[in-house]
Amino acid sequence: MTITVGDKIPAATLTKVTSDGPDQITTNALFDGRTVALFAVPGAFTPTCSAKHLPGFVDKREELAAKGIDEIACISVNDPFVMGAWAKSANAEGITMLADGNADFAEAIGLTMDGSKFAMGKRSQRYTMLVEDGVVKQLHVEAPGEFKVSSAEYLLGEL
């Protein structure tokens, strides 16, 4: 079942990319008592993700913070080393990079996709989620092959 507005984020453990290397973080630690803009991409270094999705949040991070966002986090079904390399190559300072290496979180919220056609296997759908104190307040899931409702600009317009 797909997560919806009003649902609590399920308990899960993700891998956070830090300057000291990978570090595990629970969804409770990430979301409880805070407002987080979480955006998911099908894959690090993929064309739309690298050219539009991540750069949009990098460019709009101060505007999002001014609207009450405590943290902006990017999640993908990649390993933490790939997410770290992608963050460096994109100058993604101020964006928390999260690895959902086995797609456990994507499965738990019902937002997986089959990327086998592109030799990517199981991945996360592209979406943006606004989470306040562990509860989904907004959820914008893209139609396959589109990039409209999950952008930083769209989220800013909805705040």
Taking only the tens place, the pLDDT of each residue in 100-112 is 988 999 999 998 7
CA angle 143, 66, 85 (to 5 degrees): 60
pLDDT value for 114: 66
- The structural domains of the chain, ordered by start, are 13-158 (3.40.30.10)
pLDDT value for 113: 59
Q: Are 49 and 58 in contact (CB under 8 A)?
A: no
| Closest CA relative to residue 126, chosen from 117, 135, 139, 138 | 139
- 62 phi, psi to nearest 5 deg: -70, -40
Tokens of 58: 């990098």
The whole-model pTM stands at: 0.91
**Residue 99 clears pLDDT 80, i.e. is over it:** yes
Contact partners, residue 10, CB within 8 Å, separation at least 6: 3, 27, 105, 108, 109
Bridging pattern class, strands 71-76 and 95-99: parallel
Contact partners, residue 109, CB within 8 Å, separation at least 6: 2, 3, 9, 10
| 102: number of Cβ within 10 Å | 11
Gap between the Cα atoms of 50 and 100, Å rounded: 18
pLDDT in tens, 112-140: 756 566 656 576 788 999 999 999 999 99
Residue 74 is a catalytic residue: no
- The residue annotated as part of the active site, out of 30, 44, 49, 130, is 49
pLDDT in tens, 39-90: 999 888 876 766 678 989 999 999 999 999 999 999 999 889 999 998 998 9
